[in-house]
Structure 1
Amino acid sequence: MQNNKIKKRVKNEGLKRQEEQRKEDTKNKILEAIEKLKKKKEKINFSRISNESGISRNTLYTYRDFIGEHTTITVNKSNEVQELEHKIKELNQKNKVLSSENRDLKDSNSKLVEQIMALKEYIKTLE
């Protein structure tokens, strides 16, 4: 009796491991398909993932949350990248404006120093 229980438990554990491995393989195929579609810059939907991965659409729907996580994250990342690129452009433009203002102020300062020196010379001649 004890042997039968042990055999059933071992068999069940083996089946569980096999099932987990199958699920992991399916997730990997889905990820590979998503990456290929991204590289091709194609729209990502269940039909295209199914064609690319060889996994039925019915099966894909059971992994809907998993697919959603991996497609939404990349969209959010690309939005973040676009926002950062926009911010960099704004800062570069502001830097150009400030550099130009700085150059103008230095020129004005030099002219004022020259005027002061000329006035000092003029004052010396009056004394």
Structure 2
Amino acid sequence: MYHLKLCKAKSYMGIVCATESKPDVYVPEKQQADKLVASGYFVLASEEENTTNEIAREEVSKVEDTETESLFEEPDEEGEDSLLVELQTKSKAELVEYANKNGIDLTGCNKKDEIYSQIIESIARADSAREMLRKG
């Protein structure tokens, strides 16, 4: 997953949706990340340790509060790709159900693409939190 941040005072609607209020997006492929950065709308995000620790704490508390399947399960490369493919093939209602089951907040997400992006971002944040917890 590649973490990109929208440049200030811009919004972008395309492969991903980003606004000034939600500037962070996550894409699974380097080609997509490079294409978005080349557009001039995004920069690769460099995460500061404090910000990453805050994200890790938030994600851990979300997972602890839910009694459903954990987002922290360690998928292998093939498993992660199959999850992305599976999510892409789901209907809007199925994506909403998946998000609710996994404790993912969909506030402000009305379209299928927005819901999908929010789910992918949450999974990426959980992955980042897991890595930070492992590092200590």
Higher relative contact order, structure no. (Cα contacts within 8 Å, ≥ 6 residues apart): 2
State which structure, 1 or 2, has the greater radius of gyration over its C-alpha atoms. Answer: 1
Q: Which has the higher helix share?
A: 1
